Amino acid sequence: METLLLSAEEVRSLITMGEAINAVEEAFRLYALSKALMPPKVYLCFENGDLRAMPASIMGYAGVKWVNSHPENPGRGMPSVMAVLVLNDPTTGFPLAVMDATFLTSLRTGAAGGVAIKHLARKNSEIFGFVGCGKQARYQLLAAMEVCNVELVKAYDVNKRAEEKFREFCESLGVECKFKELEKVCDCDVLVTTTPSTKPIVKSKWVAEGTHINAIGADAPGKQELEIEILKRAKIVVDDIHQALHGGEINVAVSNGLISEKDIHATLGEVAAGLKRGREGNEITIFDSTGLAIQDIAVAKIVYEKAIEMSAGRRIRLVETE
């Protein structure tokens, strides 16, 4: 028996953002209905970063993503985040495929934002504010364009080069992008935050009723992008309650006793499955994204099945099977 090897370039060619959004939405729904297995992440922490093992089983497949986070890597000429995914047959345990998951991580994170906008933003949302203009902002925009008519992007980043590159990306998609002061960026229909901040940078007084916020940046204890008063005003929807409490946007407010688990309205899966309501009227909604292994397996499933159909990748005898 042979295992399929898929490079970054091959993976990128085998899945679209639209397909990723549909797969991630279904993964959230199945997880809410207890039709998926997802143990907690396992961390190996080092002085300059960490490695994380993210296992899950869903949609007839099992697997694990092995992903790093090393913030100083760009100074070494390497990405901060790199990932490899092993996809297994849950019946036999055989490794069906080993594939690059760096692109898949960015794609599925953007796709989750798209699912959140679909269920939590106002249907006529057209003005999108981006706080942080790095790689993930691009994937959030691509996802937003799948579910909304994006007329105008307002963007802010402390790194002006990142702002300029994001503007060029927007223009390549035919979307107008204007740089604004941080306060003005927050005056929008949908606000997307993708920074590594450990202190609130978006103030409550800047956020109007009816705004939806995709809070993407906070993915570890101590990180936060939103002023806690915004959390108190908003309907909070998370991808996973345990992960959000410990490392999502809400983690600082919870650890300081300013909000608690009871202030979480729902998981995004519960909303997608119709178990809890999404947007109701002109309220502020927040999607607190931490990133789930079920998302990785859901998009890897598409990549693997398309690769088989199109004879993509390279097959090797990776493990002894006799």
- In 22-149, the DSSP E strands lie at 42-46, 49-58, 61-69, 83-88, 95-100, 127-131
Measured in residues, the chain has a length of: 322
CA distances from 28 to 67, 209, 295 (A): 21, 27, 8
Number of helices and strands in the chain (H, E): 11, 15
Active-site choice (35, 41, 65, 203): 65
Q: Provide φ and ψ at 85, rounded to 5°.
A: -120, 135
In our burial notation (b when 16+ CB lie closer than 10 A, e otherwise), range 11-35 reads beebbebebbbbbbbbbbbbbbeee
DSSP secondary-structure letter at 37?
B
**Catalytic residue at 65?**
yes
Active site residues: 65
